[in-house]
């Protein structure tokens, strides 16, 4: 029905084009919202552009009925274009020979001269089509690259999800194994202590019973003497006198009075005193303390870490690890899980037969996706064994004089003094000392390309009261 309406009835009195978002004033005149707002910006009072009647200060309401009619009219025009007249301007019926670069739409020569496109830059449709194709190809290439990035991100997410599941299963299994060892230790310790208690109970009971048996024999002996004396007292005088000496001699051989048995009771304090602490002391043999724990989320895929995260060795790359930002991606490196920013800390590493290693400390912000020298200017304070020679990775590297092949290396960090000290614990000799003012958190650092492991040694736990 709207397609049969005159175009003038659907045109804005200001721009003379089909209404765009029409609004209705109290005087019943309608205008494009943008045309009306533009008109009011150039006037002191809000009034109708046609009849000059004052309008409300409130935003005028949308003329939904007129908007629907305009949309239906434009849709009818579009359907007419689809039938074969799409090369003609739906407003003026002229051929669409130009492309407005401002409004990004094809127009006719009449549109170019109209108020809507007057002063706009335009170009022939042929040239504009080539330019638009080039821009679309460029935009499509950007989108294709972005699509590839998102596809890779989804692949990475899938690998990460699988790795998290594997991590959870592995960690759960190891936790159960560790607690099973602790349970076994506690069970064996409980059995040992109960056995010791039972053994002491049997010894104490046997001692008391032996004493009781002796007392029973003495009671029987005394009872027999008393009975004999009673019989003698009641006998004839001559019989009494004849047996008197023998009876008196028996009374002289009676035993001394029984004394209390010292130490006959169970030693409860031995079994119960500090029992948890004593068990914990013995537990240190099965529960060693490591001052440094490796962080598997930073380990290069070529490194294999032990189940307790205290040793590392070079091995075949694990292709199932996610490419997370914390991980070293280029060389076989790994960091400790605990960072240091104050106080003093130390740990020892068993290097043994490993002939290719770097040990020390690294800043938390070191680059993980580049291969850079492990030197102070890059955030590393390390020593190494490469090609049979010991070096301090200073700038430039410093050759170290080591009398004998190192089996263990001690690393000591003093944050307050700004020192990193490397020493040989077997000879109590300092190998090298770095001095630096540390401004970042530091993490224990390890590198190796040897199949022989580097082992972080456990430390004794000292308790003071």
Instruction: Give the helix ranges, DSSP H, for 234-305.
Output: 237-252, 268-272, 275-283
Q: Please report the sign of the dihedral spanned by the C-alpha atoms of residue 83, residue 88, residue 91, residue 96.
A: positive
| CATH code of the domain in which 395 resides | 2.60.120.920
pLDDT of residue 1: 45
234 and 366 both lie in a single domain:
no
What's the pTM value of the predicted model, to 2 decimals? 0.64
Task: Report, as an integer, the average pLDDT of 184-209.
Answer: 93
Q: pLDDT (tens digit, 9 = 90+) per residue, 110-159?
A: 888 888 888 899 999 889 999 989 989 999 999 999 999 999 999 889 98
Phi then psi for 122, rounded to 5 degrees?
-135, 160
Q: Which of 50-54, 79-83, 312-316, 451-455 has the lowest mean pLDDT?
A: 79-83
75 and 94 both lie in a single domain:
no
- For the cut 50, the answer to whether the pLDDT of residue 82 exceeds it is no
- For the cut 60, the answer to whether the pLDDT of residue 3 exceeds it is no
310 and 443 both lie in a single domain:
yes
380 and 393 both lie in a single domain:
yes
Q: What's the mean pLDDT when you consider all of the chain?
A: 88
388 and 415 both lie in a single domain:
yes
pLDDT of residue 37: 87
324 and 452 both lie in a single domain:
yes
312 and 351 both lie in a single domain:
yes
- For the cut 60, the answer to whether the pLDDT of residue 84 exceeds it is no
355 and 443 both lie in a single domain:
yes
Specify whether the CB–CB gap between 426 and 407 falls below 8 A: yes
pLDDT of residue 141: 93
pLDDT of residue 301: 93
Task: Report, as an integer, the average pLDDT of 160-182.
Answer: 92
pLDDT of residue 5: 63
Q: How far apart are CA 19 and CA 249, in angstroms?
A: 147
67 and 202 both lie in a single domain:
no
pLDDT of residue 399: 95
Instruction: Quickly count helices (H) and strands (E) in the chain.
Output: 7, 18
Highest mean pLDDT among 12-16, 56-60, 169-173: 169-173
The strand pairing partners of 414, in sequence order, are: 344, 419
Residue 464 lies in a domain: no
Q: Residue 202: which pLDDT band, with cuts at 50, 70 and 90?
A: very high
326 and 413 both lie in a single domain:
yes
- For the cut 50, the answer to whether the pLDDT of residue 85 exceeds it is no
Residue 145 lies in a domain: no
Among the candidates 49, 64, 83, a domain finishes at: 83
205 and 263 both lie in a single domain:
yes
């Amino acid at each position: 029905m709207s397609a049969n309406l005159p175009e003038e009835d659907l045109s804005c009195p200001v721009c003379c084009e089909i209404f765009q978002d029409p609004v209705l004033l109290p005087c019943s005149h309608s205008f494009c919202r943008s045309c009306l707002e533009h008109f009011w910006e150039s006037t002191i009072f809000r009034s109708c552009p046609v009849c000059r009647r004052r309008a409300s200060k409130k935003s005028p309401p949308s003329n939904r009925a007129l908007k629907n009619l305009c949309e239906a009219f434009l849709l009818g025009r579009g359907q007419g274009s689809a039938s074969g007249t799409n090369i003609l301007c739906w407003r003026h019926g002229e051929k669409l020979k130009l492309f407005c670069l401002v409004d990004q739409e094809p127009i006719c020569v009449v549109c170019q001269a109209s108020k809507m496109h007057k002063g706009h830059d335009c170009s022939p449709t042929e040239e504009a089509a080539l330019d638009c194709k080039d821009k679309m190809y460029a935009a499509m290439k950007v989108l294709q690259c972005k699509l590839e990035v998102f596809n890779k991100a989804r692949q990475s997410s899938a690998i990460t999800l699988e790795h998290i599941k594997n991590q959870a299963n592995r960690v759960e299994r190891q936790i159960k194994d560790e607690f099973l060892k602790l349970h076994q230790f506690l069970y064996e310790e409980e059995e040992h202590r109960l056995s010791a208690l039972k053994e002491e109970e049997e010894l104490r009971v046997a001692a008391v019973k032996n004493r009781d048996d002796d007392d029973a024999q003495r009671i029987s002996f005394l009872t027999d003497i008393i009975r004999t004396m009673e019989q003698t007292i009641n006998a004839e005088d001559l019989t009494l006198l004849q047996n008197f000496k023998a009876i008196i001699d028996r009374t002289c051989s009676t035993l001394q009075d029984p004394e209390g048995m010292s130490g006959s009771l169970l030693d409860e304090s031995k079994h119960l005193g500090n029992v948890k602490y004593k068990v914990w002391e013995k537990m240190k043999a099965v529960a060693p303390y490591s001052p440094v724990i490796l962080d598997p989320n930073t380990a290069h895929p070529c490194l294999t870490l032990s189940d307790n995260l205290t040793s590392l060795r070079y091995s075949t790359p694990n292709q199932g690890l996610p490419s997370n930002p914390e991980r070293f991606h280029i060389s076989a490196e790994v960091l400790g899980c605990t960072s240091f920013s104050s106080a003093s800390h130390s740990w020892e590493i068993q290097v043994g037969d490993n002939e290719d290693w770097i040990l020390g400390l690294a800043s938390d912000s070191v680059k993980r996706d580049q291969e850079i020298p492990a030197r102070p200017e890059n955030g590393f304070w390390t020593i190494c064994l490469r090609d049979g020679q010991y070096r301090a990775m200073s700038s430039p590297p410093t050759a170290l004089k080591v009398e004998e092949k190192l089996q263990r290396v001690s690393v000591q960090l003093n944050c307050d003094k700004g020192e990193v000290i490397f020493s040989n614990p077997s000879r109590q000799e300092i190998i090298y000392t770095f001095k630096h003012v540390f401004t970042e958190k530091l993490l224990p650092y390890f590198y190796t390309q040897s199949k022989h492991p580097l082992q972080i040694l456990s430390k004794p736990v000292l308790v003071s009261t």
